Amino acid sequence: MLQQTRTLGVMTLVAISAADCAAHSMNSLGPFAVGELIKNGQMTAAQAGVWSSVEMLSYAAAMTGIASAVHRIRLRSLALVAAICVVFAQATSAYVYGFWGLLALRVLSGLGLGALNAVVNVGASRLGQPIFVLSFVMVVQTIVFSASSLFLPSIGKIAGQKGVFLVLACIVLALAPLMRLLPDTVNQPRGVVRTGQPASGPAVAALLAVLCYTGGSLAVWPFTERIAASVGLTTASFGTLSAFSNILGLCVCLASVRLSRNTASMRLLIPALLLTGVICFFQAWPPSWLVFKAAFSLNYALWFFIYPALVGLTCLVDPSGKLASRSGGAWMLSQATTTVLAGVAGNSGQYLGIGFLSFVLCLLSACCVFLVKPHQIMAR
């Protein structure tokens, strides 16, 4: 691991890690914001679903749009502009109380977060060791969000909506200076770049694998705090559970970094997807608080193995980074669609159907990975 870090450059890895933490700040800490808005009567569960989905669709639009110009991207410039957009959107959300105003700010936030995630995926692809890079940056992300999950519930209790959104803004603001360490050169593709060519079978299968997994595993995520409350967990208990899950995720990240040096990570990908499908069902419809805690922790931890493996798979199929950027758009598009369904179900507290849908989608994702045959690609 140390040798790989030296080869890629410590400063570049630090910069990509900063962009990654900023890009995923709402994915990991967003449930606290959603829970605060619902608790304060700013929106219903269904409106919260729309609110989250608008941000995700903007996220998807940014990543998909950037994919078409992947060779002209200057990572540093894009990251800094995107960070400014996110900081402004989060800080302003602290002082806006109308649903439509909050919704409009999600468009800006989503565009910024999507651009930051594109920086991460394209940067990992350009460095030539995508699975290692993505696993490494998620180690850093896990440490940052473990600490944040401990104090964010207390800030929400003391300062409410204003406190939660200002903390989210400050996290990105603190990370922005590190993004200046990113390279700011245009990537020079090797050989002649063909445009307008139909996507290959492995490329389509890899995108579908990301689409199905993210839609399945994350559909219920914005409402996880509400489900936790339904089985008797307090906000503080949920924060502690989130911190524990981040620590468990850190262990998985470290294992993923180790596994990234051979084909083991890809051989374990299909079993991990199938296990996640079962876990998601019980996270959405837990018979007890103990089952919920176990399902939440395992789903959270497995994400830290499956996500870098799936995005790394798209980088292996298409080393230019274009497919990796599109995969981020596919992720948000699928999550936005399924989150709307979860929001409708959330009005009545019925998440059983979402749990079953999550299981089916994870099963389909495993089938798509099987069609790609990733261990054969890594062996080339």
Check which CATH number belongs to the domain holding 137 and give it: 1.20.1250.20
Report if residue 262 sits inside a domain: yes
pLDDT by residue (tens digit) across 278-302? 999 999 889 999 999 999 999 989 9
Report if residue 135 sits inside a domain: yes
Report if residue 49 sits inside a domain: yes
What element of type H or E holds 359?
helix 352-372
CA 44 vs. chain centroid, Å, equals 24
Report if residue 244 sits inside a domain: yes
Report if residue 298 sits inside a domain: yes
pLDDT surpassing 60 at residue 379: no
C-beta of residue 26 within 8 angstroms of C-beta of residue 55: yes
pLDDT surpassing 50 at residue 6: no
At residue 8 the predicted structure's pLDDT band, cuts being 50, 70 and 90, is low
Where do we find the tokens 């468009």? 107
At residue 262 the predicted structure's pLDDT band, cuts being 50, 70 and 90, is low
C-alpha to C-alpha distance for 219 and 311, rounded to whole angstroms: 19
Cβ-defined contacts of 36-45 (< 8 Å, 24+): 36/156, 36/160, 36/161, 36/164, 37/102, 37/161, 38/226, 40/160, 40/161, 42/97, 42/99, 42/102, 42/161, 43/99, 43/102, 44/347, 45/223, 45/226, 45/343, 45/346, 45/347
What does the block give as tokens for 291?
A: 């089952």
pLDDT by residue (tens digit) across 111-125? 999 999 999 999 888
pLDDT by residue (tens digit) across 310-321? 988 898 888 888
Report if residue 192 sits inside a domain: no
pLDDT by residue (tens digit) across 38-80? 888 888 877 887 888 899 889 999 999 998 888 888 999 999 9
Report if residue 211 sits inside a domain: yes
**Whether the predicted model's global pTM rises above the 0.85 cut:** no
pLDDT surpassing 70 at residue 209: yes
What element of type H or E holds 209?
helix 201-218
pLDDT by residue (tens digit) across 171-182? 999 999 999 999
CA gyration radius for the chain? 19
* Domain count for the chain: 1
Q: What is the DSSP secondary-structure string of 246-289?
A: HHHHHHHHHHHHHHTTSTHHHHTHHHHHHHHHHHHHHHHS-SSH
pLDDT surpassing 90 at residue 126: no
Report if residue 190 sits inside a domain: no
- Average pLDDT over the chain, rounded to an integer: 85
Q: What is the pLDDT of residue 192?
A: 39
Q: Quick one: which of 167, 157, 349, 301 has its CA closest to 239?
A: 157
Q: What is the pLDDT of residue 334?
A: 80
Q: What is the pLDDT of residue 92?
A: 97
What does the block give as tokens for 148?
A: 């944040």
Amino acid sitting at position 27: N
The CA-atom distances, in angstroms, between 348 and each of 36, 108, 230, 315, 344 are: 19, 30, 12, 41, 8
Q: What is the pLDDT of residue 222?
A: 64
- 207: containing domain: 2-185+198-378
C-beta of residue 289 within 8 angstroms of C-beta of residue 231: yes
Mean pLDDT of 92-102: 93
Q: What is the pLDDT of residue 359?
A: 94
Comparing 112 with 267, the larger pLDDT belongs to 112
Comparing 150 with 83, the larger pLDDT belongs to 83
What does the block give as tokens for 193?
A: 């770049």
